[in-house]
């Protein structure tokens, strides 16, 4: 399949495009440089690139979270609107762009990347948690509406995957049983497409979400996160300060 890549960093887009061409000869790529945090104004440009293309799979993967986590009262206006435009509006707007073509052809797949953070309200990641709950609800509603249309709608709810978004803690930067690399997670998640409409995409994360959804109640989960995040951030600040002192 040919790939249309959309992101805000042109250098990373070019690097990804080059890597795809090298590893998959014959696969064509096209890049669109836009910043999803800018909201409605960017979709006219995206629509221009989508027009006339047979879009078989849409992956709504763009996401934003406070790094490091913080209290809502400490978030800037740009952060608040950025979360809404990136985590919420992008999912709806991109789906609206490609869905008519999929319906006309009677086939297609829409993969919406939510988060395990939507399992319960999450202190210090309040906006992120709430916006990912939106993705979960929107995907399930859309999936019901599109029954029998030939279009698959899948919700992915990953927990910790090693990305810049999780770099606020050293523990989130090392692969472990519950912490997946991007390659490990994507390989696992893609294997679930057409088999599961709502999934963690990676079985260790599924175990975590089972515990959060079925074993612990929301209040207990909120308490654990509310205590854990300040401790994690404090420990990370001390670690960075110690490393800086050693360099001196």
Banded pLDDT at 218 (limits 50, 70, 90): confident
Q: Beta 57-60 vs 198-199: how paired, if at all?
A: unpaired
Q: Say how far residue 65 (Cα) sits from the centre of its chain.
A: 10
Of the two residues 206 and 67, the one the predictor is more confident about is: 206
Q: Match 């951030």 to its residue by tokens.
A: 233
The token pair that represents 120 in the structure block:
């319960």
| CATH number, domain containing residue 114 | 3.40.50.720
Higher pLDDT, 229 or 28: 28
Interval 73-110: pLDDT, tens? 999 999 999 999 999 999 999 999 999 999 999 999 99
Confidence of residue 248 (pLDDT cuts 50, 70, 90): low
> How far is residue 82 CA from its own chain's centroid?
14
- pTM for the complete prediction? 0.87
Q: In angstroms, rounded to a whole number, what is the distance separating the alpha carbons of residues 229 and 72? A: 14
- Domain membership of residue 145 as a residue range: 34-247
Element (H, E) at 29: strand 29-33
pLDDT of residue 163 exceeding 90, the answer is no
Residue with tokens 């939510």: 114
Pick the catalytic residue: 124, 128, 185, 202? Answer: 128
Classify the C-alpha dihedral 81-83-88-93 as positive or negative: positive
Answer yes or no: is pLDDT of 136 > 70: yes
- Confidence grade of residue 36 (pLDDT, cut at 50, 70, 90): very high
Active-site residue, 202 included: no
Owner of token pair 């963690």: 200
Q: Is residue 102 part of a domain?
A: yes
Is the residue at 84 inside a domain? yes
Domain count, the chain: 1
Mean pLDDT score of the chain: 91
Q: How far is CA 186 from CA 68, 116, 191, 192, 195, in A?
A: 24, 15, 9, 10, 15
Confidence band for 165, pLDDT divided at 50, 70 and 90: confident
Residues in the chain: 248
152 in a domain, yes or no?
A: yes
Does residue 168 have a pLDDT over 80? no
Residue 235 lies in a domain: yes
Q: Of 19 and 230, which is predicted with more confidence?
A: 19
Contact 134, 177 (CB under 8 A): no
Task: Report the distance separating Cα 130 and Cα 136, nearest Å.
Answer: 10
Per-residue pLDDT band at 236 (split at 50, 70, 90):
low
Contact predicate 21/27, CB 8 Å: yes
């Amino acid at each position: 399949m040919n790939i249309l890549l959309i992101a805000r960093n042109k250098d990373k887009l070019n690097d990804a495009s080059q890597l795809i061409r090298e590893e998959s000869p014959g696969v064509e790529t096209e890049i669109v440089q836009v910043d999803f945090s800018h909201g409605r104004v960017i979709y006219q440009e995206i629509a221009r690139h989508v027009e006339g293309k047979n879009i078989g799979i849409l992956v709504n993967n763009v996401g934003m979270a406070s790094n490091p986590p913080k209290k809502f009262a400490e978030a800037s206006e740009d952060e608040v609107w950025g979360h809404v435009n990136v985590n919420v509006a992008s999912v709806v707007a991109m789906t609206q762009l490609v869905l008519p073509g999929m319906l006309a052809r009677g086939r297609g797949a829409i993969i919406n990347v939510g988060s395990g953070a939507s399992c319960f309200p999450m202190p210090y990641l309040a906006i992120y948690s709430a916006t990912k709950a939106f993705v979960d609800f929107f995907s399930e509603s859309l999936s019901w509406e599109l029954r029998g249309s030939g279009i698959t709608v899948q919700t992915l709810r990953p927990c910790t995957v090693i990305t810049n978004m999780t770099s606020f803690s050293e523990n989130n930067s090392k692969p472990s049983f519950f912490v997946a690399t991007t390659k490990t997670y994507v390989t696992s998640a893609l294997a679930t497409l057409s088999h599961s409409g709502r999934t963690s995409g990676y079985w260790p994360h599924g175990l975590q979400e089972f515990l959060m959804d079925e074993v612990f109640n929301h209040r207990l989960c909120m308490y654990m996160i509310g205590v854990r995040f300040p401790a994690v951030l404090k420990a990370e600040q001390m670690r960075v300060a110690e490393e800086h002192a050693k360099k001196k």
